[in-house]
């Protein structure tokens, strides 16, 4: 019985908000601090997933679902593929120098102080939410995307005609098509030039500098070959 009373007293919304907020922020900081690129990708998955939880808590269930499907399911799979394709031993963890780290810490602290000062300076934003539950958002979003508004912004005075999002929707559609074609063209299967680039670099600077400084020459010759072919 006592357990039931205590359970009822728990503010689940606030508790879950803090859980997801700590997860999102903690893993975002983990992405910054990690040196291993595979770990960075994993932390990013967790951070974006926790952000989807925050979206659900804010009552934006459609955006939360899209976040999970497009970001975590699509973009991150893409990034992980990139990590796997380029994760040769020397590139898995490229260290940042200590001076850069210190400078980045100073810049981050001042930027965070500025943003927090701006975020906390408006009183209306600091009042706790009224907990007003809106209607499911999927239908208004869908109709707004084809240009018909059926929603009513809460708290706003009765407005006249609000514009829909048909034109941005079309622009984004064409943009996605262009991106699809462009990405497929850029990443199409080619003869691998990795070995070739190393070979050219070695022949231009024979054993003087094994750091591949002159791979630009390799790239240029590869480009020239591509042009001839």
Partner 1 sequence: MSGLGMYGSAFPSPVPILAMAGGDGVSVAHYLVVGAILFTAGIVCMAVKRNALGVLMGIELVLNGANVNFVAFASPYLRGQGAVALGIDGQVIALFVILLAAAEAAVALAITLNFYNNHATVDVDRADNLKG
Q: Which of residues 140-169 bind partner 1 (CB under 8 A)?
A: 140-141, 144-145, 149, 151-156, 165, 168
Residue closer to partner 1 by CB (options 95, 207) is: 95
CA dihedral 97, 98, 103, 106 (to 10 degrees): 140
Q: Which listed residue (4, 89, 127, 229) binds partner 1 by CB under 8 A?
A: 127
Considering only residues 94 to 113 of the shown chain, the ones binding partner 1 according to CB under 8 A are 94-96, 100-101, 104, 107-108, 111-112
Residue closer to partner 1 by CB (options 112, 208) is: 112
Dist CA 91 CA 150 (whole Å): 51
Q: Is 40 in the site for partner 1 (CB under 8 A)?
A: yes
**Hey, how many other C-beta atoms are within 10 angstroms of the C-beta on 214?**
18
Considering only residues 60 to 89 of the shown chain, the ones binding partner 1 according to CB under 8 A are 60, 62-63, 66-67, 70-71, 74-75, 78-79, 81-83, 85-86
Q: Is 128 in the site for partner 1 (CB under 8 A)?
A: yes
Considering only residues 178 to 217 of the shown chain, the ones binding partner 1 according to CB under 8 A are 179-180, 182-183, 186-187, 190, 192-194, 197-198, 212, 215-216
**Hey, how many other C-beta atoms are within 10 angstroms of the C-beta on 37?**
19
Burial class (CB in 10 A: 0-12, 13-18, 19+), 28: middle
**Hey, how many other C-beta atoms are within 10 angstroms of the C-beta on 137?**
16
**Strand spans (E) along the chain:** none
Dist CA 215 CA 202 (whole Å): 9
Dist CA 45 CA 63 (whole Å): 17
Residue closer to partner 1 by CB (options 119, 208) is: 119
Dist CA 96 CA 108 (whole Å): 16
Residue closer to partner 1 by CB (options 168, 208) is: 168
Residue 174 Cβ vs partner 1, minimum distance, rounded to whole Å? 11
Q: Is 21 in the site for partner 1 (CB under 8 A)?
A: yes
Residue 192 Cβ vs partner 1, minimum distance, rounded to whole Å? 6
Q: Is 59 in the site for partner 1 (CB under 8 A)?
A: yes
Dist CA 34 CA 96 (whole Å): 10
């Amino acid at each position: 019985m006592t357990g039931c009373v205590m359970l009822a007293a728990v503010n689940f919304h606030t508790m879950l908000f803090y859980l997801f907020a700590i997860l999102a922020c903690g893993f975002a900081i983990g992405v910054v601090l990690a040196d291993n690129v595979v770990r960075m990708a994993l932390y990013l998955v967790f951070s974006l997933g926790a952000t989807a939880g925050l979206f659900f808590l804010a009552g934006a269930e459609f955006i939360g679902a899209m976040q999970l499907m497009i970001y975590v399911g699509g973009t991150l799979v893409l990034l992980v593929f990139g990590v796997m394709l380029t994760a040769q031993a020397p590139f898995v963890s490229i260290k940042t120098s200590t001076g850069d780290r210190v400078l980045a810490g100073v810049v981050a602290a001042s930027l965070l102080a500025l943003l927090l000062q701006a975020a906390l300076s408006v009183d209306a934003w600091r009042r706790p939410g009224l907990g007003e539950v809106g209607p499911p958002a999927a239908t208004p979003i869908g109709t707004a995307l084809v240009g018909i508004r059926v929603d009513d912004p809460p708290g706003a005075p009765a407005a006249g005609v609000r514009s829909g999002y048909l034109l941005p929707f079309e622009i984004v559609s064409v943009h996605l098509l262009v991106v699809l074609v462009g990405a497929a063209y850029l990443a199409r299967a080619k003869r691998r030039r990795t070995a070739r680039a190393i070979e050219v670099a070695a022949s231009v600077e024979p054993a003087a500098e094994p750091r591949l400084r002159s791979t630009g020459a390799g790239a240029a010759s590869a480009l020239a070959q591509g042009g001839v072919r």
